[in-house]
Chains A and B, each alone.
Chain A
């Protein structure tokens, strides 16, 4: 049994049109997503803005109520404000400036979960806070500081310490390093990896940055317009992608090899309120055929442990990748 089991998870938002009486639309931010995460494993969730990855992350820790489907953690589908759920799964946010209460001292921010769940006796709270701060690489004398007195990297460490305080088994990291400067980002990534090896925490690591996801994850899930379009071991997804969207995404990532990337995906993602028929990627897909506009391809296991939602996941793979391999151009 996996630590986290997500089955057919959906989250729909009502969208109001502008002006009077324009009617109400449905935005399927997450549309029937299923996946597992094992204890101590990192699943990277990558996709572009608006693909639903953050909504999915928040639905997993029940900061959003799913519209459909099940989330089981440790085999149990908890009620949303069940304290047992809060002790199993935590979340680290993107923006280190808004994710800490502005008027609360750092020590108290980290002590809050300890007190709420009575994890240690009141007399031991400050000792435990100090230990958590050391765990995330913060000097204990910062306990008396307010968030605005800390740098972005330090604040993000506080956010991680707060999540660690309940001794969770799963942490959802929602773009946890995206707002940080490059030279600080690597520190936080290494910290998260160290904490995983020390405490066996599983991560759902959400990011738009394929490089970061590749560095952090055992497996990678690629999301497009509310659905997972590819899921597999991270080395395989990056080197041998099955879905044309993943291939396009990889091609567009700037790398240190000089020479320009191949623009493989044209145009921009469609309006999620009014998604295309069939495979939602077909209007931008370089290998789309007639069937793609009609049938939505299911997520299928093409290779062992490597899934893709594409009618032509294997057929065109070799041809396409040889034609447009960035290596050929340089």
Chain B
């Protein structure tokens, strides 16, 4: 999966990217929010044109007139009149105008102060950071309502400006905190260091490099902030701290309505509905926009998809191989269409054999491993083929059986052992749990833990069992993972780049131990790696994958010494070797293929030295070159045709 994603990220220029607008439109709730917000904006902007009456015009002859749906209502005042005979609809429309202007202005004030302080605090750090963040702590501790009373209750001529300041200032710390944490993350990235190395000044680094990467967090917070500020503005108006009368505000109408609610129940309800509808619309729209920015959402949880025909008797394949993979295909559905991670992959493994699977990003080597143990990352799924493990097709067995097979028949170790272990549980606890789950009797668990840790070369198992994964080095954690996997005595162990994250001296120690242990216990080892040299040292046979297809498979000695596929050949020539003379390397031209582009013919054709006309149109089949050594290349299929 990481392979596939890695490739997706590096898709060449011009590949289609999901359009944010289309994603927004796809969510009905977001559209409701958007329509609501547009409605409020129209009401606010065109209040003078829309309002049927002057919002301040009193008509004491027609006070507390009911709205039109009431039997006494009239179409003259659609939503009735208030205690001074003013038209409620007009007052609500002007109230929207006042609320929105004040809230948006307050948001802009808070957002600008917050953005600036957040940027400085994060980028300059040290004393600047301490002062700003402590001010923020004070701000958060200070009751908002006290500030409001202190300012608004005291100033003689209360104006919109006072409200904007009182509402806007307290919000800055929210923006500042988010911006600061984004800046802290961005400024440590290499591109900022690179900017310094090319001589960019502090200010240039801040404004040209950091700001463009962090400002996008502001609009979403700002939108949600406006919703909150509308409520706060209404609260102040309700308390009589808002715009002074006769200005129309929702809070003010609410307060008036409260005084008359015994006779006119609708009066407080109308502004209340206006507030709820506005804030809800804003929040729905804000959530929708936030989910567009958050592109990592995977819809649908982790679920194994069993192909049609499941439940049929799983027929034993003809030969007695431990593992028999036949015509395996795995696809990853994406918005841009289905990506074929692997296609038509077939191979088998004998008991006790070590098979090396070699490939680069997007080759499908990891996907092949996770397909065998049925742990393909969602949304990937097996689209074709069979995987026979000891006479059972694991693509068809039910989940319960699969759980039994995992661990007991098929074990797996990953590249990053620390991520596979739980950080808050001791190593010993996790080992004991693991052993219990594969059926080691309770009495023997503790002694088994000590024994297996010793076998993987951990010098003091009694100390290690009390420690937590973060207290151990990467090499030690990987040893723990190996111990855990081997303790279940699996028939097949899948090791996906088990030493890639480790130093070479540790790699040599661990792989040597691993291969010795699997040899002793007659466990088949599927060693997945990008390093063909590693495979040449530890594996019996090697499988070379390129762009999700098998290029070549055969005994290590023949593949390394006389590679049949041009890709294998080129791969061997492009690795700088410590024992080489320093002659110029022959790199493979071009780039790895984009997995989202489906092409016909051999996937390696565009980069191949020996490419022929045929290669672009016809996908070569695996052809036997000698006993047990196969390659998928037209160079060899031609030879066969000529020979036969």
A residues apposed to B, CB below 8 Å: 48-49, 58, 61, 63, 81, 83, 86-87, 90-91, 93-95, 97-104, 112-113, 116-117, 142, 145, 148-154, 159, 162-163, 165-166, 181-187, 189-190, 193, 208-212, 214-216, 234-235, 238, 248-261, 263, 265-269
B residues apposed to A, CB below 8 Å: 9-15, 189-191, 193-201, 204, 208-209, 212-213, 360-361, 459, 473, 475-476, 503-509, 512, 515, 530-534, 536-538, 556-557, 560, 570-572, 574-580, 582, 584-589, 591-592, 607
- B472 to A, closest residue via Cβ: A268
9 smallest beta-carbon distances between A and B, as pairs: A186-B587, A86-B199, A215-B576, A252-B508, A103-B212, A186-B574, A99-B190, A48-B503, A113-B198
Q: Which of A91, A104, A209, A238 contacts B197 (CB 8 A)?
A: A91
Q: Which of B198, B515, B577, B585 contacts A86 (CB 8 A)?
A: B198
Beyond A61-B197, A151-B12, A260-B538, 16 extra complex contacts between A and B, CB < 8 Å: A48-B504, A87-B199, A100-B191, A104-B212, A112-B198, A112-B200, A162-B194, A182-B532, A184-B588, A184-B592, A252-B505, A252-B508, A252-B509, A255-B578, A256-B560, A269-B503
Can you report 23 residue pairs joining A to B where beta carbons are below 8 Å apart?
A: A81-B201, A87-B199, A98-B189, A99-B190, A101-B212, A103-B212, A117-B199, A149-B11, A182-B571, A183-B570, A183-B607, A186-B574, A190-B585, A211-B578, A252-B509, A254-B536, A254-B537, A255-B537, A256-B572, A258-B560, A260-B515, A268-B503, A268-B506
Q: Tell me if A183 and B571 are in contact (CB < 8 A).
A: yes
Q: Tell me if B197 and A159 are in contact (CB < 8 A).
A: no
Q: Tell me if A214 and B508 are in contact (CB < 8 A).
A: no
Q: Tell me if B198 and A95 are in contact (CB < 8 A).
A: no
**A268: chain B residues within 8 A (beta carbon):** 473, 475-476, 503, 505-506
Q: Tell me if B588 and A183 are in contact (CB < 8 A).
A: yes
CA of A193 to CA of B584 in the docked complex: distance in angstroms? 9
Q: Tell me if A165 and B509 are in contact (CB < 8 A).
A: no
Q: Tell me if A261 and B361 are in contact (CB < 8 A).
A: no
**A259: chain B residues within 8 A (beta carbon):** 537
Nearest CB in chain B: distance from A95 CB, A? 6
Q: Tell me if B587 and A183 are in contact (CB < 8 A).
A: yes
- A265 to B, closest residue via Cβ: B505
- A144 to B, closest residue via Cβ: B13
Most buried by B among A162, A163, A182, A185: A182
Nearest CB in chain B: distance from A258 CB, A? 5
CA of A250 to CA of B557 in the docked complex: distance in angstroms? 22
CA of A154 to CA of B9 in the docked complex: distance in angstroms? 13
**B473: chain A residues within 8 A (beta carbon):** 268
Q: Tell me if A190 and B584 are in contact (CB < 8 A).
A: yes
Q: Tell me if A49 and B579 are in contact (CB < 8 A).
A: no
**B532: chain A residues within 8 A (beta carbon):** 182, 256
CA of A159 to CA of B574 in the docked complex: distance in angstroms? 22
CA of A190 to CA of B195 in the docked complex: distance in angstroms? 25
**B14: chain A residues within 8 A (beta carbon):** 149
Q: Tell me if B213 and A212 are in contact (CB < 8 A).
A: no
- B540 to A, closest residue via Cβ: A258
**B570: chain A residues within 8 A (beta carbon):** 183
CA of A210 to CA of B504 in the docked complex: distance in angstroms? 10
Most buried by A among B13, B557, B582: B13
Q: Tell me if A90 and B197 are in contact (CB < 8 A).
A: yes
CA of A269 to CA of B503 in the docked complex: distance in angstroms? 10
CA of A142 to CA of B507 in the docked complex: distance in angstroms? 39
Q: Tell me if B190 and A148 are in contact (CB < 8 A).
A: no
Q: Tell me if B197 and A212 are in contact (CB < 8 A).
A: no
**B509: chain A residues within 8 A (beta carbon):** 252, 263, 266
A-B contact count (CB 8 A): 219
Known: A116-B204, A183-B588, A263-B509. A211 touches B575 (CB 8 A): yes
CA of A117 to CA of B201 in the docked complex: distance in angstroms? 11
Q: Which of B12, B198, B503, B607 contacts A208 (CB 8 A)?
A: B503
Known: A116-B199, A252-B504, A254-B533. A214 touches B576 (CB 8 A): yes
**A49: chain B residues within 8 A (beta carbon):** 503
- A102 to B, closest residue via Cβ: B213
CA of A112 to CA of B213 in the docked complex: distance in angstroms? 17
Nearest CB in chain A: distance from B575 CB, A? 6
Known: A63-B193, A86-B199, A149-B13. A212 touches B361 (CB 8 A): no
Q: Tell me if B12 and A149 are in contact (CB < 8 A).
A: yes
Q: Tell me if A184 and B190 are in contact (CB < 8 A).
A: no
**A99: chain B residues within 8 A (beta carbon):** 189-191, 194
Q: Which of B209, B537, B576 contacts A258 (CB 8 A)?
A: B537
Q: Tell me if B574 and A153 are in contact (CB < 8 A).
A: no
Nearest CB in chain B: distance from A191 CB, A? 9
Nearest CB in chain A: distance from B371 CB, A? 22
CA of A100 to CA of B192 in the docked complex: distance in angstroms? 8
- B473 to A, closest residue via Cβ: A268
Nearest CB in chain A: distance from B175 CB, A? 20
CA of A82 to CA of B360 in the docked complex: distance in angstroms? 42
**B531: chain A residues within 8 A (beta carbon):** 182, 254
CA of A273 to CA of B208 in the docked complex: distance in angstroms? 37
Known: A181-B592, A212-B576. A103 touches B194 (CB 8 A): no
- A64 to B, closest residue via Cβ: B193
**A48: chain B residues within 8 A (beta carbon):** 503-505
CA of A258 to CA of B540 in the docked complex: distance in angstroms? 10
CA of A234 to CA of B579 in the docked complex: distance in angstroms? 11
CA of A126 to CA of B596 in the docked complex: distance in angstroms? 33
Q: Tell me if B577 and A150 are in contact (CB < 8 A).
A: no
**A209: chain B residues within 8 A (beta carbon):** 576
Q: Which of B191, B476, B505, B580 contacts A215 (CB 8 A)?
A: B580
Q: Tell me if A91 and B194 are in contact (CB < 8 A).
A: yes
Q: Tell me if B587 and A166 are in contact (CB < 8 A).
A: no
**B591: chain A residues within 8 A (beta carbon):** 151, 153-154, 184
**A81: chain B residues within 8 A (beta carbon):** 196, 199, 201
Most buried by A among B459, B515, B576, B588: B576
Q: Tell me if B199 and A215 are in contact (CB < 8 A).
A: no
Q: Tell me if B199 and A83 are in contact (CB < 8 A).
A: yes
CA of A211 to CA of B573 in the docked complex: distance in angstroms? 13
Q: Tell me if A248 and B505 are in contact (CB < 8 A).
A: yes
- A94 to B, closest residue via Cβ: B190
**B582: chain A residues within 8 A (beta carbon):** 214-215, 234-235
CA of A208 to CA of B504 in the docked complex: distance in angstroms? 8
Q: Tell me if B194 and A189 are in contact (CB < 8 A).
A: no
**B512: chain A residues within 8 A (beta carbon):** 260-261, 263
Most buried by A among B560, B574, B607: B574
**A94: chain B residues within 8 A (beta carbon):** 190
Q: Tell me if B197 and A186 are in contact (CB < 8 A).
A: no
- A188 to B, closest residue via Cβ: B587
CA of A152 to CA of B195 in the docked complex: distance in angstroms? 19
**A117: chain B residues within 8 A (beta carbon):** 199
Q: Tell me if B198 and A210 are in contact (CB < 8 A).
A: no
**B191: chain A residues within 8 A (beta carbon):** 98-102
Known: A181-B530, A238-B578. A112 touches B195 (CB 8 A): yes
- B9 to A, closest residue via Cβ: A148
Q: Which of B15, B189, B577 contacts A211 (CB 8 A)?
A: B577
- A181 to B, closest residue via Cβ: B360
**B571: chain A residues within 8 A (beta carbon):** 182-183
Nearest CB in chain A: distance from B641 CB, A? 29
- B209 to A, closest residue via Cβ: A101
Known: A183-B587, A189-B576. A86 touches B507 (CB 8 A): no
Q: Tell me if B577 and A256 are in contact (CB < 8 A).
A: yes
Most buried by B among A152, A166, A256, A259: A256
- B533 to A, closest residue via Cβ: A254
- B509 to A, closest residue via Cβ: A263
Q: Which of A145, A187, A249 contacts B504 (CB 8 A)?
A: A249
Nearest CB in chain A: distance from B355 CB, A? 15
CA of A181 to CA of B512 in the docked complex: distance in angstroms? 25
Nearest CB in chain A: distance from B179 CB, A? 16
**B592: chain A residues within 8 A (beta carbon):** 151, 181, 183-184
CA of A98 to CA of B213 in the docked complex: distance in angstroms? 12
Q: Tell me if A101 and B575 are in contact (CB < 8 A).
A: no
